Amino acid sequence: MLPKIRSLALALSAALAVAGCTVTPVSPNVQTAGEAEAGQPALSPEAFLAVASRVEPVAESICRSRTPDQDCDFAILVDRDPRTGANAFQTVDPRGRPIVILTIGLVAILENEDEMAFVLGHEAGHHIARHIPLQRGAAAEGARVFSEMAAAGGAAARTVERAAEIGAVVGASRYSREAEFEADALGTMIALRAGYDPVTGAQLFRRLPEPASPFLATHPPNAQRVEAVRRTVRRLQAGG
């Protein structure tokens, strides 16, 4: 799988262009922000490539076994724009190939290979579980419900439109929390099967900011996610 990860000459989708990503294929010469600033990155470029090379085939295998109708040939990229902050996300290219992107800001704060393996597994889990189309559906349903409620109450057209916008946000955010837990579970499975410790990997959550709003937050509380990973590991090790 190593040559495939090194050779990622992709035409990225419009979604990436909208996101403003300056993306780079995972390769031995990737320089992290930590390397540039301190000279001693916690995760060397070689280690980064090694983790990607071990995690990708596991994620691909699980994807093909669970959703054989999807493209499961994951591409792993790094967004080297320092303005993007610490983040990771999953999208697809115009042909439907799944892409996992880590920002240089996130790469810089990864403390070990277990954390990187868990992040990659988590993002691959979003694709395996079809979270992108499902979240769009949740947003559409939220918009429909809120707009119909506003219209039924005799609201003006602009108020109905605004209600639809709010409903879309509420619908998407409520679904996102469920999706994050599901992606964490799949990421735990992927990291574990790739030979990494997902519990150690999930300690990254303890260094990330808590979701801002309990009502509209798209991610669950960090402590809950760490505990959910622990439960998933126990279940997997027990044969569940």
pLDDT tens digit sequence for 76-100: 998 888 787 888 888 888 888 999 9
Token reading at 69: 């109708």
User: Over pLDDT 70: what percentage of the chain?
Assistant: 65
Residue 41: per-residue pLDDT: 53
Q: What is the 8-class DSSP label of residue 209?
A: P
User: Which pLDDT band, with edges at 50, 70 and 90, does 19 fall under?
Assistant: very low
Task: Residue 162: count other Cβ atoms within 10 Å of its Cβ.
Answer: 15
- Note the pLDDT tens digit of each residue in 150-169: 677 777 778 767 766 665 56
| Model pLDDT for residues 193-225, shown as the tens digit of each residue | 999 999 999 999 888 776 655 444 456 788 889
Which sequence spans correspond to the domains of the chain? 2-109, 131-237
- The phi, psi pair for 87, rounded to 5°, reads -160, 165
pLDDT tier for residue 134 given thresholds of 50, 70 and 90? low
